Amino acid sequence: MSDGVLAAIIAAGATVFASLLQLRTSFARELATRGMTAAGRRKSRLPFILISAMLIGALIGGFALAQWLHEYERLAHAALERDLRERISELSKTQSELQQEHAGTHDQLESEFRRRVGAEGVVVLATLPACRPPPDSGAAAITTAGAPSSASSLPSATAAVSSGCSETDATPVTLCATVPVSAKITGVELFVRAADAGTPWDNSRAIPGQEIEHSRFAEKLSEAPDSETTRQVCQGFQHWSGAPRVARMIVHYSP
C-alpha cells in the first residue's frame, strides 16, 4: 500500500471516529430529551441526521480520495515505466551501435594486421643435422680421411663429399607456413646456409630445384587444408652435406 493511500485511509478513519463521537453525544442527548414533547423530539433529531450525513459524506469522500490517489499513482507509475522503457530502448540502440562500430573496427584492424603480416611474410625455419653416411660407405669415408692435408682447405663441397652421403641418403623435411584460407600467395623466398654461419640471409638465397652446397629445395610448392579458416603452404627440402644446415622459407600473401 502506497503512502498516499495510507494517508487517505488514516484521514477517513479520523473523520469517521470524530463522527462516531458526535453521534454518541447526539444519542445521549436523544435519551435525555425522550421525555420532551413530539415537536421537541423532532427538533432533537436534526443533529443526528446532520451527523449521519456528515458520516456518509466522510466515507464517500475518503473512498473517492483513496481512488483518486490510487489512480494518480497508477498513472505516475505508468509514466515512469514508459520513461524507463524509452531509456532502455535508447541504451539498447546505443549498445547495438557501439557493438557494430566495435565489430567494424575489429574487422578493419584484423584486415590491416593480415595485410601487414602477408606483406612481411610468414617465416619458417628448419635446422638439419649433418648427414650420416650409411654403414657400407665406411671405406669411402676412411679413404677420404687419409687424403693429404691440403684437402682440408677445400671448400665446403669437398667437406660434404667427405661425409660419404649422396642425395639418395638425404632425409627430406617439409617447411610449412600457415596462411588464411582465402589468401593469395604473392611470393616465396627460400634460403639455406650453414648452421654456424653469420652471413646475412640475403646472401644465402636459393632457387627451387637448384642444388646449393649439397642441398636442394623442391621444385614446386604444395598446399594442404589446415582448418576451416587456414591452410598450409609447404616446400620440401633435403640436404646431404657433412655440416648442419638451416633452411628458411618466407611466404608472402595478400588477404
What would the DSSP string read from start to end of 208-220?
Answer: TT-B-SSEEE-SS
| Diameter of the chain measured on Cα atoms | 165
The Cα–Cα gap between 123 and 175 comes to 10
The answer to whether the beta carbons of residues 141 and 164 sit under 8 Å apart is yes
Total domains in the fold of the chain: 2
Nearest CA to 156 out of 248, 239, 249 is that of 239
- The H or E element containing residue 79 is helix 38-120
pLDDT of residue 20: 72
Q: Is residue 109 part of a domain?
A: no
- Cell numbers 420532551: residue: 36
Question: How high does pLDDT run on average in the chain?
Answer: 78
Q: Is residue 134 part of a domain?
A: yes
Q: Is residue 234 part of a domain?
A: yes
* 137 contacts: CB under 8 Å, gap ≥ 6: 164, 165
Q: Is residue 113 part of a domain?
A: no
Q: Do 136 and 22 share a structural domain?
A: no
Winning range, highest mean pLDDT, from 35-49, 53-67, 123-137, 232-246 = 232-246
Q: Do 81 and 141 share a structural domain?
A: no
**Entry pTM:** 0.52
The Cα–Cα gap between 177 and 124 comes to 6
Q: Is residue 106 part of a domain?
A: no
Q: Do 213 and 129 share a structural domain?
A: yes
Q: Do 149 and 70 share a structural domain?
A: no
pLDDT of residue 213: 84
Q: Do 72 and 125 share a structural domain?
A: no
Q: Do 184 and 72 share a structural domain?
A: no
Sign (positive or negative) of CA dihedral 204, 209, 210, 213:
positive
69 against 237, higher pLDDT = 237
- Structure confidence by residue, pLDDT tens digits, 45-56: 666 677 777 778
Q: Out of 57, 77, 95, pick the residue that ends a domain.
A: 95
pLDDT of residue 252: 95
- Structure confidence by residue, pLDDT tens digits, 140-189: 433 333 333 333 333 443 343 445 688 888 888 999 999 999 999 999 99
Q: How far is CA 190 from the centre of its chain?
A: 37
Asked if the model's pLDDT at residue 33 lies above 70, the reply is no
Q: Do 161 and 80 share a structural domain?
A: no
Q: How confident is the model at residue 39 (pLDDT cuts 50, 70, 90)?
A: low
Q: Do 149 and 78 share a structural domain?
A: no
Q: Do 43 and 129 share a structural domain?
A: no
Asked if the model's pLDDT at residue 235 lies above 90, the reply is yes
The answer to whether the beta carbons of residues 176 and 232 sit under 8 Å apart is yes
Q: Which of 16-20, 207-211, 232-236 has the lowest mean pLDDT?
A: 16-20
Q: Is residue 177 part of a domain?
A: yes
Q: Do 134 and 58 share a structural domain?
A: no
Q: Is residue 81 part of a domain?
A: yes
pLDDT of residue 4: 59
Mean pLDDT of 230-254: 93
Q: Is residue 107 part of a domain?
A: no
Q: Do 147 and 197 share a structural domain?
A: yes
Q: Do 159 and 86 share a structural domain?
A: no
Q: How confident is the model at residue 95 (pLDDT cuts 50, 70, 90)?
A: confident
Domain around 139: 121-254
